[in-house]
Amino acid sequence: MGRSLALGWVLITTLCLASCGSADETNDDRLLARVHQKELRLSDLDGMFPAGATREDSMVIVQSFTSRWTKTASLEWEAERNLPPDLNIDRLVRDYRASLVSSHYEEFLIESRIDSNVSYGELNDYYEANKQRYLLERPIVRCLLLRVPYPIQEEEELQALWNNGKITDTLALKNYSERFAEVSLLDQDAWYSLDEIAAQLPPGELTASNINNKQEFSLQEGGFRFYFRLLEVKPRLEVAPLSYVEDQARAMILQNRKLDVLEAAREDIYQRELRKKNIETFPLK
């Protein structure tokens, strides 16, 4: 028994001896609650008391658990009492147990056999073969965006950096944004949903209908000044670039690997049991 459990046991035993009087007990395994013939005892709380728990902490844990337990036990009793006569509960339990056991073993197989590394080449091959799965539902954009508190600190420096599209100045712009900008999107290779970008701007400023006419602008509203530069836009129903759907594609590759691992394992196990003559079938006559 761990130190935290031992401490909790001593605390709760002390509490029960002090407050439970002559309630039913088995040695020190105090009876905490009963619903019809179902009982909750102190041993059922094994492992629930953290290290350093005070007497008050332990009492709260017991009271909270007991309250939940009595409600659950009451519902279970009512459910048992109202089971449909044609419900084969034993069969349901067997099926559920079999499903749990199989699922647990399948998880073990996946963890022990699957390679979770996906190379860029494999990712690109999958993307090229499945492009039609990645048609855009909403426009996406590559852009630069800054939202800077107004009045602007070192405004002349910011204006000079923003007006010059050179890569060297873009790096300097990143340095400025780290110091002063509240929102800063300056990765020229990153794709964003149009809705995501529009949410950073004043309402109605950027929409699917006006995006092509909003190549670049800056405006001041409320306590902020906004700077926006459009680099590229892909409209709805166009194929999304790989970088935008990379996580989805990787997840599908791994999912397919899992299915392959499980199918191979099932077949291996089946063939092994056939060879050992542990499988028999009895056709109907």
- The reply to whether 260 falls in a domain is no
The DSSP letter of residue 241 is: P
- The reply to whether 27 falls in a domain is yes
Identify the CATH number of the domain in which residue 214 sits.
Answer: 3.10.50
- Closest Cα partner for 136 from 236, 234, 211, 207? 236
- Look at residue 19 in the predicted model and tell me its pLDDT: 46
- Look at residue 167 in the predicted model and tell me its pLDDT: 65
- The reply to whether 283 falls in a domain is no
Q: Among 54, 81, 108, which residue terminates a domain? A: 81
| Structure tokens, 231 | 């680099």
Give the pairing type, strands 140-149 and 29-35.
Answer: unpaired
- The reply to whether 108 falls in a domain is no
Regions of the chain with pLDDT less than 70: 1-27, 165, 167
- Look at residue 119 in the predicted model and tell me its pLDDT: 96
* CA 55, chain centre distance (Å): 36
CA 180/CA 168 separation, integer angstroms: 19
- The reply to whether 17 falls in a domain is yes
What does the pLDDT look like over 194-233, one tens digit per residue? 999 999 999 999 999 999 888 889 999 989 999 999 999 9
- The reply to whether 274 falls in a domain is no
Asked if 246 contacts 123 with a C-beta cutoff of 8 angstroms, the reply is yes
Three-class secondary structure of residue 11 per DSSP: helix
* Residue appearing with tokens 């073969």: 129
- Say what angle helices 242-275 and 89-113 make with each other, to 10 degrees: 110
Terminal-to-terminal C-alpha distance of the chain: 59
Residue-range definition of the domain harbouring residue 160 = 136-234
